[in-house]
Structure 1
Amino acid sequence: MAKILISAQIDLDPAQREEALKSARPFIDAALAEKGCIHYDWSADLSNPSRVNVFEEWESEEDLAAHFRDPAYTGMRDHIGQFGLTGAVSRKYRVDAEGPVYNDQGVATEDFG
């Protein structure tokens, strides 16, 4: 079974971004408590004052499908739209290989072996 990653960039009114993230905590916590949720992070982009970066990792497509039906998802979707949403791009990825970034000698490597 392949894990699923989601990467998204959401642009909000810069004056509202901090409040959007602070008040989203209940939705983030609820998603983190869902079956199959490994990571669920919404954070301010330090290079762009309007951008929120989203990273999610799910155990399976089934777990992600359940998340999309859960109030944590629909609540966050509706919540974030109240803060001057100006754009959003999101992509999902099915992971076919996984490995450490650093080898036994402590050197970063692209190798999955």
Structure 2
Amino acid sequence: MAKIVISAQIDLEPAQRDDALRSAQPWIDGALSQPGCIHYDWSADLNNPSRVNVFEEWESEDALAAHFAGPQYAGMLAHIGRSGLTNAVSKKYRVDAEGPVYGAEGKPTEKFG
């Protein structure tokens, strides 16, 4: 099975962004505790005072489907809705290959394998 990566940009009222990030910790921790969740992170975009960047990595489509069907996802949606949501864009990617950014000689490479 292929891993799934999600990248999202959530725009909130700038005055609410920092509080929204701080108070999101239970939803972040909840997602991280779910089977198949490899990575789940929200961070402030330092170039845009309203934006929260979200990065998720899931072991499989089944793990992501369970997340979408569960209380952690519903709670996160409600949390964002109470935080001055103005816009959101999210995309998911099925990963067919992965590898290190730096090769054996310590130089970055765009190649896989």
Q: TM-score, normalised by structure 2?
A: 0.99
Mapped to 1, the partners of 2:83 and 2:57 lie a distance apart of 25
Mapped to 2, the partners of 1:53 and 1:98 lie a distance apart of 22
Mapped to 2, the partners of 1:58 and 1:22 lie a distance apart of 23
Mapped to 1, the partners of 2:27 and 2:111 lie a distance apart of 36
Quote the residue 1:41 is aligned against: 41
The count of corresponding residues between Structure 1 and Structure 2 is 113
Mapped to 2, the partners of 1:71 and 1:10 lie a distance apart of 20
Structure 1: runs of 5+ lacking an equivalent:
none
Q: Secondary structure at the match of 1:47?
A: coil
Mapped to 2, the partners of 1:89 and 1:106 lie a distance apart of 35
**Cα RMSD over matched residues?**
0.5
Mapped to 2, the partners of 1:70 and 1:41 lie a distance apart of 18
Quote the residue 1:63 is aligned against: 63
Matches within 5 A, 1:5-16: 5-16=5-16
Q: TM-score, normalised by structure 1?
A: 0.99
Matched, 1:27 2:27: yes
Q: Partner letter of residue 78 of structure 2?
A: D
Large movers: runs of 4+ above 2 Å: none
Q: Secondary structure at the match of 1:54?
A: strand
Matches within 5 A, 1:53-92: 53-92=53-92
Identity of matched residues, %? 73
Structure 2: runs of 5+ lacking an equivalent:
none
